[in-house]
Chains A and B, each alone.
Chain A
């Protein structure tokens, strides 16, 4: 796997600081205490299986949780100011302007009864006060910049008249048109064919770099993460279990979960008779969990894993929450 280091990773005040965030329903927690910091220009991947809470986390940041889920504890601060905590949600004025959002399914994301153009131009109109014409012009420019032909024609069409890839690229352009400081991308390529994915990712990266936005890229696809992110966090059962620079995590994973995920990727350079899959299933959230939620599926689990919750060391750049982090021998065993 090629790991591309992101250019333009700027230091400074964190754009986003999440402290101890808990999100859930009346039945229980889904996000069970998450700490995360994102600096300017960083592209951070958030990886996990379905149901691990990564999407809920992304939605919570954008203030899009909906009626059934609420922030129960903790806080989210954007550019130094708290925008979300258990008592309040001040994300509305930021949404579309300084915080952008790219959805998973571009077709579902647009009103099927209206043309694509006006919908994509809304952020510019709402947050930059542009007229409809000017906004459409600007979006067209962006589409041209990412080599989508005849942008005006595209904007005049209805959502179902465009292909998935075209639509998603246009949606990405729209999300970045207001030059947001933070962009949350919720599985932006999961609904697309693999071939189209590459195109869309390229568009994504180009625009992100041009705007200099910080990005949270939520995905279950390690391949995507390897190509696009500079930092990576893996989530399991509502908690971040490992985080750090992407290259470090992918070459020397410390948490058995990531180790197992990587071992399950089919490789062309190895001979194997059976594909490896992690035994068992991820726990359903909300639900009852062991202190280390991964313990039932972990080959290295011992008694302590059922009694004490592992915590990551905040000082380490490559942090992991595990009582039995992987070393070389373990990694080899996992790979065998």
Chain B
């Protein structure tokens, strides 16, 4: 068991290293004076020189690379000139909002998707099937931020049920942003899960459970659903990563101070430290979630347990 975890952790580290290297290469690739880029257009010449020295732009590239990696190893992500503080503190402050939104969106996705899928696969739910496909298609044919704008327009602007943005009103501030991503993702999950469940329902263990006297409802929830979900775990992990990215855009629409809005502000100002910082954090989240998904599959499916761990 531990050998498997070690291997996966190594893979995670390698991924992060690749991200960091990519970030480094991109900074190198930006045309113009990198020290000036990092310092920002309004910094004085002394500041620029100081940065040039601090970041080693006056040294050969390899040296810079190694010291950059070292810095990242110590969680020193550099200085964000657009925010006038260390990138690390900006991210640490704002990542909470983003993660909260993502987590709630994920839970929301499950709460919407799973019951819908179960409903649609039951005998009475056949009519709803077509509407599900249509609804899923409609919500994914438009970009996420438009869904957000729509919700904002109707429920906040017109009806006034929820605030127009910000995080000032406690849980109410989070409802619309969470729904913006949870609904499209949830509908897609419902479609995929429905297909998986329809496949599972054909399997003989359903028939045999009925033969023992079980009721269909119980079989659906206790046996079919878990079996249908297992092949979807890696998909759910990808969903989480996707949610994380979507949430970043949603933050802008709803003016929520998370790392997403930080990122896009940083992109506009070409604040590379912050850009790379957020990139690394995002990569870390994705890698962690993938690892958790793989572990979950092992925990739940005894057949995989046997093949993976021996």
Contact = CB atoms under 8 A, between A and B. Distances in A.
A160 B213 contact: no
Nearest to A66: B207
B208 A101 contact: yes
Given A101-B208, A103-B208, A105-B204, A95 B303 contact: no
B204 A95 contact: no
B210 interface: yes
Contacts of A158: 302-303
A113 B230 contact: yes
B207 A64 contact: yes
Interface residues of B, number: 22
Given A112-B301, A160-B302, A160-B306, A127 B213 contact: yes
Contacts of A103: 204, 207-208, 211
Q: What DSSP secondary structure best describes chain B's contact surface? A: helix
Contacts of B203: 108
A112 B227 contact: yes
A25 to B, nearest CB: 16
Interface string A255-280: 00000000000000000000000000
B269 to A, nearest CB: 51
Interface string A159-203: 011000000000000100000000000000000000000000000
Contacts of B227: 111-113
- Find the residue from A64, A95, A105, A111 having the highest chain B CB count within 10 A: A111
A113 B302 contact: yes
Interface string B284-309: 00000000000000001111001000
A62 interface: yes
A113 B300 contact: yes
Contact of B205 (A93, A111, A160): A111
Given A95-B211, A95-B213, A96-B212, A109 B205 contact: yes
Interface in A111-166: 111-114, 119, 122-123, 126-127, 158, 160-161
Given A66-B207, A108-B205, A113 B213 contact: no
A67 interface: yes
A224 interface: no
B70 interface: no
A97 interface: yes
A92 interface: yes
A123 B213 contact: yes
B88 to A, nearest CB: 43
Contact of A112 (B123, B207, B210, B302): B302
Interface in B186-228: 203-205, 207-215, 223, 226-227
Contacts of A63: 210
Given A113-B226, A113-B301, A64 B205 contact: no
Contacts of A298: none
A222 interface: no
Given A67-B123, A112-B302, A113-B301, A95 B210 contact: yes
11 contacts: A59-B207, A62-B211, A64-B207, A64-B210, A95-B212, A101-B208, A110-B208, A112-B205, A119-B212, A122-B214, A158-B303
Given A67-B123, A92-B215, 4 more contacts: A103-B204, A112-B227, A112-B301, A126-B213
Interface of B: 123, 203-205, 207-215, 223, 226-227, 230, 300-303, 306
Name the 5 nearest CB pairs between A and B, nearest first.
A96-B213, A101-B211, A108-B204, A109-B208, A96-B212
